[in-house]
Structure 1
Amino acid sequence: MQEEDPENRRAIERLHAEGCSCVVRNGEIVRAFHQRGVSDLWRLLHEEPELLRGAFVADKVVGKGAAALMAVGGVRRLYARTVSRPALELLAAAGIPVEYETVAEHIINRAGTGICPVEQLCADARTPEECLPRIGEFIRRMKEQTKTAEHETK
């Protein structure tokens, strides 16, 4: 790996200290995110792609879906507390250097009962671009479920 940038190290420290899900650093701009899953990366890719392009990302958990979003977004370098093997393979193919604490065979779902649904949806995708419509559909379904649940509680 290249010589470490102290600003990247600060982003990693912020990830741990503030309990963020993700910290994105692009030049002087540093932003912390707190949503679970791939929602923040999806939103950034579609609404603020310039923030991802050439950025350093520090992330708690990186599965294949998050890795695909980072690759398509042009992320330059990544730190992950936990990364899945499929994500590492995708990132290596995209030429994105990764520093990590733990490698998992796959990312586990929030209930701890099986594979993360996004990891599962992207499992047989050969390229980051193949993952995008699958992730988009997953996010759309999750938003619908949230709206339905909110409507039912009113």
Structure 2
Amino acid sequence: MKRNMTFPTDEERRQLIDLLHAEGCSCVIRNGGATRIFRERGVKDLYRLLAEEPELLDGAFVADKVVGKGAAALMILGGVGDLHADVVSRPALELLAAAPVHVSYTLEVPYIVNRTRTGQCPVETLCRDCATAAEALPLIRRFIEGQR
């Protein structure tokens, strides 16, 4: 990957984070002059982008509502350069700390909860013991393929 590391200005970051909230989407990605919004739940959009459009992630700024360890792994593997998360899990932050990703967030939580709020997110659980982003990828792939 070539790693286009042109970070947005503080004002551009604020506008992209505001867009995340105004659109009610799951994530906003800006790379170069292109800004795109995504609406899938969980890690589906990030997984698809990594597989089909990795150039969009390479060096990108991502504004995301919820980032767990699985999403963090996919962003690391895609070469994301700058991330803002409304909510981020401690395991995601630990994984991101070893990567060249600039991270800001609003709220840190011990783990991401599942959609029914009865326990931990299944992808967060799957990736719990992964020491690297690369270790998480096959687990996430099996999870996504199992949902099809």
TM-based fold match above 0.5: yes
Helix, strand or coil: the match of 1:103? strand
Question: Who is 1:104 aligned against?
Answer: 109
Distance in 2 between residues matched to 1:54 and 1:5, nearest whole Å: 17
Q: Which of 111, 118, 129 matches 1:113?
A: 118
User: Which runs of no fewer than 5 residues in structure 1 stay unpaired?
Assistant: 144-154
| Counterpart in the other structure of 2:58 | 53
Q: Which has the higher contact order (CA 8 A, sep 6+)?
A: 2
- Name the TM-score, length of structure 1 as normaliser: 0.89
Q: Which amino acid aligns with 1:93?
A: A
- Secondary structure of the corresponding residue to residue 95 of structure 1: coil
Cross-structure match for 2:3: none
Which structure shows the bigger proportion of residues in helix conformation? 1
Residues 1:30 and 2:35 are matched in the alignment: yes
In 1, distance between residues paired with 2:125 and 2:41? 17
Please report how far the alpha carbon of residue 8 of structure 1 lies from its aligned counterpart in structure 2 after TM superposition: 2.2
CA deviations 1:87-129 (Å, max 9, x no partner) are 0011111121111010010000011010000000000000000
**Deviations 1:67-104, CA, capped at 9 Å, x for gaps:** 00000000000000000000001111112111101001
Give 3-state SS (helix, strand or coil) of 1:136's partner: helix
Matches within 5 A, 1:87-102: 87-102=92-107
Aligned length: 142
Is 1:17 the equivalent of 2:34?
Answer: no
Percent sequence identity is: 61
Larger Cα Rg: Structure 1 or Structure 2?
Answer: 1
Q: 2:70 aligns with which of 61, 65, 72?
A: 65
> 2-side partners of 1:107 and 1:87: how far apart?
10
Contact 1:8/1:25, CA 8 A, preserved across alignment: no
- Tell me the equivalent position of 2:139: 134
Instruction: Tell me if the contact between 1:83 and 1:100 (Cα under 8 Å) persists in the aligned partners.
Output: yes
Q: Which residue of 2 aligns with 1:76?
A: 81
Q: What RMSD, in angstroms, separates the aligned Cα atoms of the two structures? A: 1.3
CA distance, structure 2, for counterparts of residue 25 and residue 105 of structure 1: 28
